[in-house]
Amino acid sequence: MGQWAGYLQLILEGALVTIKLTLMGSVLALIMAFIAGLGRISRFRAVRALATTYIEFFRGTSIFVQLFWAYFVLPLFGFSLTPLQAGVLALGLNVGAYGAEVVRGAIKSIGREQYEACIALNFNRWQSLRHIILPQAFVLMLPTFGNNAIELLKASAVVSLISLSDMTFQAQVVRAQTGSTLMPFLTILVLYFLMSSVISAAIRGLERYLTRGLDGVRS
């Protein structure tokens, strides 16, 4: 049993890398989602085109390919990234592209009457967005953002392919050293599930917090 403690240690170190990747990737994804999502509804055609290109490109190619580009191809153009940087970049840009559509959809779903009230109260476009539309739309984005964050957590396993020692990578190391598949993969199965449960609970809590006092306004 003593040897398992050492191997568990290895997997927990990997879990830390996975958590780091997920957190940093989610932050980048959130930023990209808002930039591209707002870009999609911009008044300026060029901004809309740029946002659409980003979204379609990152949704339309696999995260695996994007990761290899970030880690192996970009250095050929003079951008060298550490495995962690490449992982965060690929995960953040990829999930951000999905999030952008969530941002756009939620903003579009806020009723016209809210925009009209903003005009009647003489808010400019930015003030309307910042104080009236986004706070209401953000609550609508949350459940899907939670899904996206969980997707990102699970997709983060792909970084083991560029030799980043995340949880999945470490499980494979343990498997190679011990010959046992069950123990390492049962362990990370449970750990992935726990991590995604934390994300779900956090999103639910945030949603409850943001909708207090809104009873009867939306479900």
Partner 1 sequence: MPPINETRTGTTGHPPIIEIDGISKSFGAFKVLDQLSFNVAPGEKLALIGPSGSGKTTILRILMTLEGIDSGDIRVAGENLYQMQKNGGLQPADENHLHKMRAQIGMVFQLFNLFPHKCVLDNVTLAPMLTKNTPRKQAEEQAMQLLEMVGLANKAKSMPSQLSGGQKQRVAIARALALQPKIMLFDEVTSALDPELVEEVLNVLWRLSEETDMTMLLVTHEMGFAHEFADRVLFFDRGKIVEDGKPDEIFRNPKQERTQAFLKKIIAAGHRV
| The one among 44, 60, 113, 176 contacting partner 1 by CB under 8 A | 113
Nearest to 100 by CA among 157, 189, 37, 41: 37
Residue 116 is a binding residue for partner 1 (CB under 8 A): yes
- Which position has the token pair 């809309």? 48
Stretch that binds partner 1, among 7-15, 98-106, 112-120, 181-189 (CB under 8 A): 112-120
CA–CA separation, 91 vs 93, rounded Å?
6
Site size with partner 1, rule: CB under 8 A: 22
Q: Min. distance of Cβ 126 from partner 1 in angstroms?
A: 10
Asked if residue 42 binds partner 1 (CB under 8 A), the reply is: no
**201 is an interface residue for partner 1 by CB under 8 A:** no
Nearer to partner 1, 78 or 213 (CB): 213
118-157 residues near partner 1, rule: CB under 8 A: 119-125, 127, 131-132, 135-136, 139
- Give Rg (Cα) of the chain: 21
For residues 34 and 123, which CB has a smaller minimum distance to partner 1 in the complex?
123
Considering only 80-88, 89-97, 113-121, 186-194, which stretch makes contact with partner 1 by CB under 8 A? Answer: 113-121
SS3 at position 104: helix
> How does DSSP assign 38-78, residue by residue?
HHHT-S-HHHHHHHHHHHHHHHHS-HHHHHHIIIIIGGGGT
Separation in Å, CA 165 to CA 13, 14, 18: 8, 6, 9
Residues that bind partner 1 (CB under 8 A): 113-114, 116-117, 119-125, 127, 131-132, 135-136, 139, 213-217
